Structures are given as C-alpha cells and as structure tokens.
Structure 1
C-alpha cells in the first residue's frame, strides 16, 4: 500500500501587538498637531482667514506652544481609539482570504472604525473645544485644563450624553477614515508590491502606500469632518450646521483642506511607518502550518 506523507511547510508571521496602532498614531500626532488645530479654527471661526493667517495669528497672540492646545485629548484618543481601530482591523483581516479583496477590506475597516468611534468620540469633542477655545470670545470659552478636566466638566455641567454630540458624524468619519487609511493602505501596498516587485517590508513601499492612502482620505472625509467640528462646538441642529458650513459657498465643505492634507499626509506616513517598526520590533511570532 502506497502511503504518501504530506509535506508540511511552516510559515512564520509577525503579528502586531494590540497597542501598536495607538502608539504609532500618538507619535504621528506629536508632529502634526498644529495643522489639526489650524484646520479646526478655519472651519469653526467665522472670519475668512487662510491657513497662513490663522497660523500667524495663533503664534503672535498666544505663542508657538498654543499650537498644541488639545494635545492631551489627541494623545488619549490615539492610545484608545486608534489602538482599537487598528487592532480590530488587523483581527478582521485574519478571517479573510489571502490575498483579501478590496471589498472585504472595506467591510472590515468600516466595522472596525464604527466600533472604535464609540470610544473616540468623547476625546474628539474635548480636543475640538480645546483647539478653538482661544479663538472664541472670552465669555464663551471652556478653558479646559486637560482632557480629563474636560471630560469631567462636560459630564458634570452638560450631562454624559453631551460627550457624544455629533456622534453619528464621528462614527461615519471613523468608518470612512479606517476605510480610506487602513484598507486603502493595504490595497495600495498589495498593488505596488506586485507591480514594482517589492518586498512587503520595504520602507519605500510603506511610504508610497501611506501617501496614496492619505490622498484617498482627504476628499472623502473633509465634508464630514467639517460638520463634526461644528456639531461638537455648538450642538445646533444639523441643518443649521450645514448652513453655517456653507457660509463660504462651495468652499464650505472643503474649508481647511490645505492644513488637512498637510496634517494627513505626514500623519499617515509616520503612523504606518511607526506601526510597521513596532510590529517588527515588538510583535509576536506566530508559526502556521501550510499543508
């Protein structure tokens, strides 16, 4: 009787730690926080100032360090929301075929982003308020000392549900940004690797894939991002927020696009490069048997 033994090939994969995405996002945020602040002020403040004018005004009035208003909320959001967003997406990918199709990646990214948005919305609200605070009249300022003071005061003074002002827009934005960052990054990386015959751990591959994901992200996210800013600063009815956003005409939905791109491109590049380095240096090795 002829018995043929199956040949077992062991495949070694390095899996990222659950916190890798959040730490990578926090590192990136330290470099791009000023553009985040300028973008928020361009959307919320009535004056039709450009990016350079807002930047000059902020530094001249309150000093360079004021460009980092809201950083504590941004870092806490990255360490919680972004950690969950990346981890859920990476977990979801494990249940997909290899290589996974674009639609499968989009569905996994949308679900991961929506779930993570539940965690991130309160920090986004505090962050937005801290960023625009100095640009508002003194009598309407919140003057939160840090993210924890903001969370406490909103809960005590306005009620817990206030932390989820604009939550629908936040969930939508979170889903779309996970699609246009994580799924677009993976898809671009797959295409570039095959077309240019590059290894998957190639730094240039990570770089061009990150830039591609960032440019995909901008036009899709910006109108929702602008509405989210307005709803978190002033919980007016959605129709009023849309009307306020359109005060600049057709520019309204894309107001702040320049600082957004200047933030999103380096943010995405640094996040994914850091994520890949954390995966390689701190990830755990998993050995699979392929028959």
Structure 2
C-alpha cells in the first residue's frame, strides 16, 4: 500500500507553510525555477518554431501535436536537472542547498551526474504533454480565433484569449501525469501500485489539485505568450503587409 500524508486544501497548505516557515517560504526554489524557465521553457518554444519550418503546409493539428511533443521531450532533457533540485521532498531527504547551482553540484558530487536524471521518464512525458497542451493548443486556438473573430495576428486580445484557452486545455492533460509523478517522488513503490492508489479516489483521483494548478498555469501561460508575441511583433518576426492603395 502506498503511504501518503493526509491531504490539505490549498488554503490550509498556504497557512501551514506561512505559519511554520514564514511568508518567504512560498518562494523556496525560486532560483531553480527561474533557471529552468530561462533554459527549458525557452528551448521548447525555439524547437517548436524550428519544427514548424520543417513541416509542409498546411501545418494542421496533428502536425502541431507531433512537433510540440518532440520539442517538449528534447527540451525536457535540459530542464530535468533543475527540476530535480526544485522538487519538494520530505524533510529527511532534502539537500538543503543554498541555490540551484549548489544543488546541482551536490547531486553530481555525491551521486554522480546520472543522478540528475533520476526518475526522468515521467518528467519527459510531462514535458511533451505540457508543450502539446500549451504551445500546440495555443497555435491552434489562435488560428481558430483569427478565422472566426476576424482578428489580426498581432492583436493583444487574440493573444489573451488564445493563451487562456491553451492553459485550460493544458491543465487536465498534464494533471494526471503530475499527480503520478508527485506520488512517485515520495514513494518507492512501482507505477502500477501508485496508479492503483489514485484509483481509490475514483476518476477525480487523477485530477486532484486542479484548482491550484489552474491558478498557477493560467497567469503563467498568459504572461508567457503575451511576452512572446510582443517580442515577435516588436522585433520583426512577422512581416507586416503594407496597405495597398
């Protein structure tokens, strides 16, 4: 049987963290998260755009899923080490590193560089699916909204509703994988045993924690794509057609 602590609601978890460790404990692992975003997230976007250039027109939905999945898995190889040192582990298993580079050094020194990729399978699967759920879904939603709402590609409202749609699609796709991965991190049981544990809660067991995930994913996705599109518009990625007289 998989052993796990009693569930807390999001609000009670926040209160417990602030009361026990202080307000700034909510930002533990920020250094590792920032480095991960600068490397892994940027690479996901870059590889997806490169993949689009290699595909024949029309670049349909299945092409988007394929390119996004490959881009996510390849970028995941870069992001796994920083994700590893950012994981929330039980107190007796924590490294207590000073910053992300200290954590990477400690793991490499004590356990070898291969330890940086411990449990990488689920992380790679998650990386592939989150790229499909975010990047490919955003691309598809943007095309649909441009066609039906008659919006131009550089319209901020278009970027806002497309990124919100992508986030809402992404969360139910990745939540079962995240729950499985989280349980795997704190238990030594096999995946089938953990899978059986999740079934104890019925279908909702796969999607526990949806609200916190949405609260994190929606603003994160909106900010990411609004910034990404503004950079593309301002730095000449799009070819702006001149008005014909």
Query: Match for residue 96 of structure 1?
Result: 55
Q: CA deviation at 1:235?
A: 5.2
TM-score, with structure 2 as normaliser = 0.88
What are structure 1's unaligned runs of at least 5 residues? 1-43
2:232, 2:238 within 8 Å by CA — same for their partners in 1? no
Aligned residue for 2:7, secondary structure, equals coil
Higher relative contact order (CA 8 A, sep 6+): 1
Query: Match for residue 20 of structure 1?
Result: none
Tell me how many residue pairs correspond in the alignment: 238
Query: Match for residue 232 of structure 2?
Result: 279
Matches within 5 A, 1:135-146: 136-137=90-91, 139-146=92-99
Q: CA deviation at 1:269?
A: 0.5
Q: CA deviation at 1:245?
A: 4.7
Relative distance call for 1:83 and 1:257 in structure 2 (3 A) is same
Query: Match for residue 149 of structure 2?
Result: 196
Cα separation, 2, equivalents of 1:250 and 1:127: 29
1:125, 1:232 within 8 Å by CA — same for their partners in 2? no
Cα separation, 2, equivalents of 1:110 and 1:194: 25
Q: CA deviation at 1:220?
A: 1.0
Cα separation, 2, equivalents of 1:57 and 1:81: 31
Relative distance call for 1:101 and 1:84 in structure 2 (3 A) is same
Runs ≥4 residues deviating over 4 A: 233-236, 243-250, 283-287
Q: CA deviation at 1:116?
A: 0.7
Match of 2:218 among 232, 257, 265: 265
Relative distance call for 1:232 and 1:226 in structure 2 (3 A) is same
Rg (Cα) greater in structure: 1
Match of 1:152 among 102, 105, 108: 105
Match of 1:125 among 60, 77, 84: 84
1:113, 1:176 within 8 Å by CA — same for their partners in 2? yes
Aligned residue for 1:145, secondary structure, equals coil
Cα separation, 2, equivalents of 1:158 and 1:247: 35
Relative distance call for 1:263 and 1:285 in structure 2 (3 A) is closer
Matches within 5 A, 1:107-122: 107-122=66-81
TM-score, with structure 1 as normaliser = 0.75
1:80, 1:119 within 8 Å by CA — same for their partners in 2? yes
Aligned Cα root-mean-square deviation (Å): 2.3
Could you say which structure has the higher strand fraction? 1
What are structure 2's unaligned runs of at least 5 residues? 241-245
